[in-house]
Structure formats: C-alpha cells, structure tokens
Structure 1
Amino acid sequence: MPKTCSERAAPETTRVVLHGPTMGTRWSATCELAPQIDARALQRDLAATVERVDAQMSPWRSDSCLVQLNQAPVGAWFALTTEMLQILACALDIGRLSQGAFDIGVGALVDAWGFGAARSAPDASAIRAARALAHGPAHETLELDLHAGRARKLAPLQIDLCGIAKGYAVDRMAEVLQHHGVAQALAALDGELRAIGGQADGRPWAVAIESPQTGLRRAHGVLALQDLAVATSGDYRHFFDVNGQRLAHSMDARSGTPVRGDVASVTVLAANCMLADAWATALLVAGAAQGLALAQRHGLEALWLLRRGGALVELGLGRFGGA
C-alpha cells in the first residue's frame, strides 16, 4: 500500500500525497488525482524513478554510474546512460555560463572537506592533495560524445552531482506524473520543487521559502508556484564551524574551499528543476555581487537572503524584484 493521506479537493479529483525515502532525504508528490488514476501504480513508478536517479548519480553507492565514471582512466571513453548524458550536458553548460561558479569537478574537494562519502570531517592532507590536482573546470576537462553515448575525462577529475541531481530527479518525477495523466501536482525532493499546473480550485501551489537559520525550521516567505520549478541552495543545513567561521557544503572550485560569505541562501525559479537547482548552487558559490551580475546577464529570477549586521536582507530579480 502506498503511504497516502487523502482529502476531497474538488468533485472531480482527490488530493493524494505520495512519498518515500531517497538520497538521504525524502521525495513527495502532492497530486490532484482523477478517479481513473491508480495511486498505487503511481507511487510505485515515482519510487522507481527516484531510485534510478540515485543508483546512477550517487557518490555513496560504489556501483553507481557516477562512481564508475570517476574511477575510469583519464582519456578512456566511458559509456553512459541517457540520463547521465542529460545531466552532465546541462551541468557543463551551466559551468560555462557561470564562468566556473558551478563546477561538477569538485568531488575530491567535497570528500577532502568532509562533506562526501570518504570522510565526515575536514582532512588537511586530503585538502592539499585535492587542491594539487592539476585540472581546469569540468566544462574544459570532461568531453561528452552525445551521439555515441559516452564521455571521457581529459584530466584527473572526480565528479560530484549533488548540486544538480535532486533537481533532475524532481523533473523525472514530473514526467512520471504526467505520463500517468496527472495534470495538477507538486513534486518535491528536499529544497527542490516543481509544479504541474495549479491546485484543483485554480489557485497556484503555495511553497515556503525556508528561513536560513541553523536548527530552526520555519518559513521566511511563501511563493505561488504554477507550471514552474524552484530550488534553494544555502549554507545553513550542512556546514562546519571552523574557528567561528561557517564553511558550507557547497564547494567553490576556483578557491578550493567551501562557500563562505554573507549569502545565506539563494532561491531560483526556472522552467525545470534541474536548471533551478544548478543555478541556485552557482549563484550561492558566486557570492552576492558576482551572482547578481550572472543572474542579470542570463535573465534569471532569483532571491538572495544576505546576512548583514545580524539581520537578513533580501535582494531579488524577476518575480522577486520587489525584494
């Protein structure tokens, strides 16, 4: 039996919430289901979809496609699934557009600083070794052959997809929902969400923007979402405190260090969740000034929450422009 809670949303549909574990967190789908849609089959297919993404892209699973690609010799072509090619192509494109602020080639740094599968705390010797790896950003050192379905590394490169994989998984969930005939739903995985249509009563989905306060879960604001995706990246969930300085889990490949600065979180709206997720990561890494310039250059809709003088200050573009 699927895990559901139901209430009558409109005469024609029933609201059903499906959910399950994945990627160290949980996925969920709030759906307005017509009578002919099988909730059990939908639950099964959604769970299988997020499991497939995790099985391919997890750095914690030794048999994942990502880990095998990381272990492949430099210069050797490695066959990839369609899903891996899709996410890598998007990641490399945003790496170029963000001038390296988004870089999936940070896997060794993520592990060295204690945020990956290798260790749970920073290791000075591992950090020095990761910084010593002589390679440029991933968009210069990973070559994709989309026609042949393969990739090869042009330098020692350990790829990490944590800044984009959850958003990609949400998009795959949206595909499953639509395949089952669901026209109104909100798919979510951690801080990444995508709305299919609106609610049964015609209103958009109400999505909370989390307040970036450590140890406190509450909403900073509420966003109306319809046929749109949103993702938030921040420094307040996974971080180390080193000599009073917050070191976030997002890695800046340009400096070889975790993100640090006055940006508490960045929320981005986009047509799909993979783009929203990657750009939220890129703007967090870039910092307030460079991130704002990047967002303006590429027409992004984004909201920054900045720590200034002990208070949170909002900076917004697009639909967030009133901030």
Structure 2
Amino acid sequence: MLKTPIDRVRHAMNGPTMGTRWSALFDASTATDSFPIRRALAEDVELVDRQMSTWTPASDLMRLNRAPVGEWVSVPPELMEVLARGLEIGRQSGGAFDVGMGDVVAAWGFGPRHTDPQAMRAALGTARASAHEVLELDRDELKIRKHAPMTLDLSGIAKGYAVDRMMAVLGRFEITDALVGLDGEMRACGQRPDGRPWTVALERPDFEKRAPLSVLELADCAVATSGDYRHWLELGGRRLSHTMDPALGGPATGSPASVTVLGKSCMDADAWATALMVRGLRAGQELAGHRGLKAIFIERVGETLRQSVVGWTNGDEYRPPDSSGAIPELSFAS
C-alpha cells in the first residue's frame, strides 16, 4: 500500500460556521504554508453565511426578504448564483424544491424563532406560488425583485454551495487531492495518498445517535443527504421533519428516512436531496431517474431499514442486502 511521501504532510482543518463546522482534509508539501489556506477557507465559508443566513438580520438574503414587492434589490454575485440555481432546480423538480418557503420554515420553528401556531395554521393548505414563478432576476445588473410577498430561505442549498467554494479555494492553492465538508454535505477531488478514493460514511437515519450505515467512496464528486432524523419536532406524538413540502405548507409527510444524492456539484446535490425527500419514495425515485441523478433512498420498514438506489449502471457499484438483511458497502466513482 502506498504511503504519504516523506516530503508531504496531512492537513486537517476545521472551524465553526452556520451552526455547525466546516472541515478540510488534504496532503501538501512540507513547504506549504497552511495559514493562508485555512484563512481563505474560513473567509469563503463565512462569506456564504454573511450573505445567505436567515439567522442574521443583516444578511443580504434578509435584506432582500424585507424589500417591498416590486422593488429592485441589488445583491452580491454569490447570492445571485445560488438563487438562480435554486430557481432552476425548483422548475426542474416541479416545485418540490422551493427557496420561497422561509415563512413556513419559521412558522414551524426551524428558523431563529419558536413555533408560531397561528402562522402554522395559516400556511397549511394555503395556495402559494413557487419562488421561480414570483422572483425576477436580472443577472447582468445583479438585481432581484419579488412580484408577490415571499420569504426566501436557502438552507437547502447554501451549505452545498459553501462546500463547492471550499474546493475552489483549495484549487487556487494547487491542491488536487482533498476532501471538504460542511455538516452532511461533502465533496472530494483526487484520491488519498494510498491511491484509493476518499471514504465517507452514509449515516444511519437514527433519531437518538449518530452512527454509520454504509460507506461511500468518492472520487471527484460531491454528496449531500437530506433526512428526517436530525432536525424535527414532535406534535401530537408524531415526529415531523424540518423538510417543508410546498404543496402542504408544512412538514413533508410520506418521505423516506433519508435521501442521498451524488454528483459533480455539492450545491446541486444538496438541493436535489431535499427535492427527492419532498417527492417521497416512489415519486422521488421516478424524478431522480428522469433527471439522471444518482441517489440512495433509505426507508423504514417496521424496525428495519431498506436501501434502494437510482442511477447506478455498474453492478459492482452497488450490492443489494443479502438474506441476513445486512446493509452492504456502497462505492461511487465518477
């Protein structure tokens, strides 16, 4: 097995952001000054948080949310890029992914404020236009305006975008083999020093503890997971996920326990994982197949977990559970 050459050293970096932590793992020459790399990574992640947070009243996103209907608002290019991609995935998903659900997220207590029963009742079942129908973007002039009242929330896409920016930062420092992540969103480039792909755990959808379910091997690709087990509330003895269904105006029902999406862009994988959760197991699988996505669906069947995949064309990349019910190792290489 190959080992890290003696003129190279392993760097493991991390820091706080967005209520969680970012991380970067890579090998570089012993002559490499790691301080500017760490600083650049932290600055890029904080730029995303500063522009796109719903927890910070001064963020560019919240400034846009406060703007009157019909008024053009200037936005930075990064926010424009994420909103434009979010609207496009909203169209492609038939509205399952919608960046205009901020009022519903807040009503159910998944934002900076507590649950608001009156707002929850108002949102449930109320007909609403999708963000891609209401938001007008002038990408040349970096201006946006709303044509109807709408509260934007980018929690289903901004972390993936931050991961993509982290990988771009390492590219500027000519680092070609790395694994970066932010919470459950990760992206890999190149390979480990032993010549193997980067290995990450696919998390077991457990409400009580964090534990691996299976393993993914990433080679020049990104991965993002959306699930019902990490952020939820209990209402009437029932756990309700933080994933909001635009058609319901409240938490998605009938969703699988988790959906993991793999692709070139972590921003896209992040948004599509949410969209497929909203669609539910069968409709989500059909949508993933139609859009050419590689996705892993995990559903609860009684006390057991059932795993299914869409988009795998090579039988060696996925082995179904054997008769013992064991969950196999998964690998993905683009």
Q: TM-score, normalised by structure 2?
A: 0.91
1:230 counterpart residue number: 223
In the TM superposition, 1:211-290 aligns within 5 A as: 211-290=204-283
- Do the aligned partners of 2:164 and 2:265 also contact (CA within 8 Å) in 1? yes
Letter in 2 for 1:268: V
CA distance in 1, matches of 2:260, 2:307: 11
Contact 2:203 2:211 in 1 (8 A): yes
8 A contact 1:167–1:273 mirrored in 2:
yes
1:61 is matched with: 56
Secondary structure in structure 2 of the residue aligned to 1:9: coil
Partners of 1:131 and 1:152 lie apart in 2 by: 26
* Matching residue of 1:72: 67
Which residue among 143, 154, 157 is the counterpart of 2:150?
157
Pick one of 24, 29, 48 that aligns with 1:29. 24
Identify the residue that residue 118 of structure 1 maps to in structure 2: 113
Show CA shifts across 1:207-235 (max 9, x none): 10000001211100000001100000000
Distance 1:289 1:198 in 2: 34
State how far apart, in whole Å, the 1-side matches of 2:88 and 2:308 are: 26
1:45 maps to 2:40? yes
Q: CA RMSD in A?
A: 1.5
SS at match of 1:73: coil
Deviations 1:116-146 (A, max 9, x none): 1232xx3221113445876400010111111
AA aligned to 1:71 is R
Query: What secondary structure, in the 3-state scheme, does the structure 2 residue paired with 1:85 have?
Result: helix
3-state SS of 2:257 partner: strand
**Percentage identity across aligned positions?**
49
Point out the more displaced range, 123-132 or 261-270.
123-132
Question: In the TM superposition, what whole-angstrom CA distance separates every residue of 1:101-124 from its partner, at most 9, and x where no partner exists?
Answer: 1001100000001111232xx322
Q: Is the 8 A contact 1:231 1:277 kept in 2?
A: yes
Post-superposition Cα deviations, 1:276-319, rounded to whole Å, max 9, x if no partner, equal 10001110111011111110000000000001122111110123
The gaps in structure 1 that reach 5 residues or longer are 1-7
Instruction: Tell whether the 8 Å contact from 1:78 to 1:150 is kept in structure 2 after alignment.
Output: yes
Aligned residues of 1:163 and 1:278 also touching (Cα < 8 A): yes
Q: Deviations over 1:188-214 (max 9, x none)?
A: 000000001111221100010000001
Mapped contact 1:135–1:155 kept (Cα < 8 A)? no
Query: What is the alpha-carbon distance in structure 1 between the residues aligned to residue 117 and residue 74 of structure 2?
Result: 35
User: Residue 174 of structure 1 aligns with which residue?
Assistant: 167
Q: 1:262 to 1:159 in 2, by over 3 A?
A: closer
Residue of structure 2 in register with 1:5 after alignment:
none
Residues in 1 aligned to 2:67 and 2:76: alpha-carbon distance in whole angstroms: 15
Q: Give the superposition deviation at 1:36.
A: 3.6
Tell me the distance in 1 between the aligned counterparts of 2:123 and 2:146.
Answer: 16
Taking the aligned partners of 1:291 and 1:213, their CA distance within structure 2 comes to 21
CA distance in 1, matches of 2:96, 2:86: 11
CA offsets 1:38-75 (integer angstroms, 9 cap, x no match): 21111111111111100000000010001000001111
Q: Give the counterpart letter for 1:59 in structure 2.
A: T
Distance 2:192 2:238 in 1: 43
Distance 1:249 1:266, change over 3 A: same
User: What SS does the corresponding residue of 1:118 show, helix, strand or coil?
Assistant: coil
Mean Cα displacement is larger for which, 19-28 or 192-201? 192-201
User: Which AA in structure 2 matches 1:201?
Assistant: D
Q: Which amino acid in structure 2 is aligned with residue 30 of structure 1?
A: L
Q: Contact 1:133–1:156 at 8 Å: present in 2 too?
A: no
Please give the alpha-carbon distance, in whole angstroms, between the structure 2 residues aligned to 1:244 and 1:178: 48
Return 5+ residue gaps in structure 2 as ranges.
Answer: 321-334
Q: Within 2, Cα distance between the matches of 1:245 and 1:222? A: 30
Cα separation, 2, equivalents of 1:132 and 1:142: 22
CA distance in 2: counterparts of 1:77 and 1:12, whole angstroms: 54
**Aligned residue identity for 2:65:** N
AA in 1 matched with 2:131: A
Q: Map of 1:191-230 to 2, 5 A cutoff?
A: 191-230=184-223
Distance, in Å, in 2 between the alignment partners of 1:29 and 1:185 is 7
Q: Does the Cα contact within 8 Å between 1:302 and 1:318 map onto a contact in 2?
A: yes
